[in-house]
Structures are given as C-alpha cells and as structure tokens.
C-alpha cells in the first residue's frame, strides 16, 4: 500500500471551509488572502478568461495559420497484420472489429491500411481502404466492399 492509495477513513468529518476575513488572529484577516488592492482584490473583480486588462490578448497577438475542415472524416484505423488470426471467408465489418476489440471507437467508419500480409480470403465491408490493402486482399482471393460510414 502506498500513500496515494490511502482512502478517507470511515466516519471522518468533512474538512471545514477556510473562514477568511474574520480578524488577524485567524491567519486570514485584513485582506482575506486577496493581497493588497487591485482588480482581483475587489468583489466581482475577476475578468473574462484571457482578458489582459485592455492589452491585446495573447490569443489575438499570435499569427493564425490554416483552417479547420468541418467536413473532415476521422476513421478508426486497422492494418492487415491485425487480421491474420481470422480464418478465410470471415466477413469483417465495423461491428465485428468492435466486438473483437480491435477498434475502440468507430468514428466515421473503419479504414484498412496495408501493413502486413493476408493469409486467407477475407470479405471486408469497411468505410475506406488503402490501395495497397485492397491489392493484397484481392491477391489473396478476398473481396473489399466500401460502404458509407
């Protein structure tokens, strides 16, 4: 057992909140832990996230590059060397791969890449396949059907 594995003892009372501004003898008197004057010392004095007191914020001073494609499709990727264990004639689709825990999230579908070799004739029903993978699967007698993710 390590210190970070120790739990809270049963029946222990919850820690009391620190009572600030209750006199100097309490240790959190006078400024109540807020320092002296300034915007952060005032009630309601915390500005927006990234606000720099009127100075041009860092996020706006940095140069901007590129763009975000809102139509981007992100695939769950699998390679041919991960399909070696399956016998010939097996139909492989996204649901099958998720059940076998070869992919975690299906996202926009499954894409098969060409690393490795194919032993038997596999039937693939996936959202995308690389040219190398398609060539290797068809050379082994299998078939590839590209379906929309």
Distance CA 106, CA 95 (A): 8
- Cα separation of 140 and 38, whole Å? 74
**pLDDT tens track for 110-128:** 999 999 998 889 999 999 9
Q: Strand, helix or coil at 34? A: coil
Q: pLDDT at position 149, please?
A: 53
- 110: which DSSP letter? E
Fold classified for 76-146 = Ribosomal Protein L15; Chain: K; domain 2 (3.100.10)
Residue labelled with tokens 């500005």: 47
List helix spans (H) across 102-144: 131-139
Alpha-carbon span 107 to 8, nearest angstrom: 40
Confirm whether pTM is higher than 0.95: no
Say yes or no to pLDDT of 21 above 80: yes
Domain spans in the chain, listed from the N-terminal domain onward: 76-146
Predicted pLDDT of residue 135:
94
Per-residue pLDDT tens over the stretch 25-80: 988 999 998 999 988 888 887 778 888 888 999 999 999 999 999 999 999 999 99
Q: What average pLDDT score do residues 90-109 get?
A: 90
């Amino acid at each position: 057992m390590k210190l970070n594995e120790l739990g809270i003892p049963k029946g222990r009372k919850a820690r009391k909140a620190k009572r600030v501004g209750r006199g100097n003898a309490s240790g959190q008197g006078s400024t109540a832990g807020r320092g002296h004057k300034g915007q952060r010392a005032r009630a309601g004095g915390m500005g927006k996230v990234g606000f720099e007191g009127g100075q041009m914020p860092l996020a706006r001073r940095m140069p901007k590059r590129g763009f975000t494609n809102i139509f981007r499709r992100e695939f769950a990727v699998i390679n041919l060397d991960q399909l070696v264990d399956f016998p010939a004639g097996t139909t492989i689709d996204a649901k099958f791969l998720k059940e076998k825990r070869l992919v975690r999230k299906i996202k926009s579908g499954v894409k098969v890449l060409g690393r490795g070799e194919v032993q038997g004739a596999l039937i693939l029903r996936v959202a995308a396949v690389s040219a190398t993978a398609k060539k290797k699967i068809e050379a082994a007698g299998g078939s590839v059907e590209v379906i929309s993710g």
